[in-house]
Amino acid sequence: MTNFAVVERRHLAALLRRVGPDAPTHCEGWNTRDLAVHLVERDSRPDILMGKFAPKLPVLGKRAEAGDAALYDLPWNELVAKVEKPSLLSPARIGPVDKRINTAEFFVHHEDVRRAQETWHRRQLLHDEEKDLWGSLQLMAKPLLRNESDSILLVASGYGSVSAGKGKSKRVQLVRANPSELLLWAFGRRDAAEVVITEE
């Protein structure tokens, strides 16, 4: 079976080319250029990410600032090409690693762009694709929802359930949907995800 992360990467790159560098996204505060730069840095420029998150190390910080600016200055098609095809030294070039670290990442960001456009339609994903996203959700639900004061139970018919949240209140939120919509909801795309929420 084709790696779902590879499929989403390809489709996202095609969509980015079509909508251009200034289109809106559901990633708060980011347009499509911001999102593309983020994906390139995440896949191929860990040195930039390290510099951004190590402000007490001025050498790394200056290098990160310069590298970040250089990516922002790239022609749009060149930047998107880097999204579509990571550098030769990127771990994303290794199939199993790419699947593990990028299945959720590229699905969510693909939907960030798709659902922020004026006209969009909900996709019908294959069972194996939903299964891959369910596997990602099982790994990521607790860290993604660690700040929720309620107990959260994510329920996907035919796949199972995942619990998360701090559980400090007596309330339990039941969030029901397909794995893909639950993943978007857990990633904070509350206005974009199509879920049904009840409380107990």
Tell me: the pLDDT tens digits for 83-133? Answer: 999 988 888 888 888 899 999 999 999 999 999 999 898 899 999 999 999
Please count the CA atoms within 13 angstroms of the CA of 30 that sit on its side-chain side.
16
C-alpha dihedral sign at 172, 177, 178, 180: negative
Closest CA to 135 of 174, 96, 172: 96
Predicted local confidence at residue 179, as pLDDT: 98
Provide the 8-state DSSP code for 24: B
Predicted local confidence at residue 54, as pLDDT: 66
Q: Which amino acid is at 29?
A: G
Predicted local confidence at residue 129, as pLDDT: 95
Residue 20 φ/ψ, nearest 5 degrees: 90, 175
Confidence of residue 139 (pLDDT cuts 50, 70, 90): very high
Q: For residue range 150-183, what is the model confidence (pLDDT) as tens digits?
A: 899 999 999 999 999 887 777 889 999 999 999 9
Predicted local confidence at residue 59, as pLDDT: 63
Predicted local confidence at residue 199, as pLDDT: 87
> Measured between alpha carbons, how far is 19 from 23 in angstroms, rounded to an integer?
6
Beta strands in 37-165 (DSSP E): 151-156, 160-164
More confident: 147 or 169: 147
Q: For residue range 16-75, what is the model confidence (pLDDT) as tens digits?
A: 999 999 999 999 999 999 999 999 988 888 777 666 666 666 666 677 778 788 999 999
The tokens 């359930």 sit on which residue? 161
Task: Report CA 108 to chain centroid distance, whole Å.
Answer: 4
Residue 129 φ/ψ, nearest 5 degrees: -70, -45
Task: Kindly report the pTM of this predicted structure.
Answer: 0.90
> Measured between alpha carbons, how far is 44 from 178 in angstroms, rounded to an integer?
31
> Measured between alpha carbons, how far is 156 from 163 in angstroms, rounded to an integer?
12
Count CB atoms within 10 A of the CB of residue 157. Answer: 10
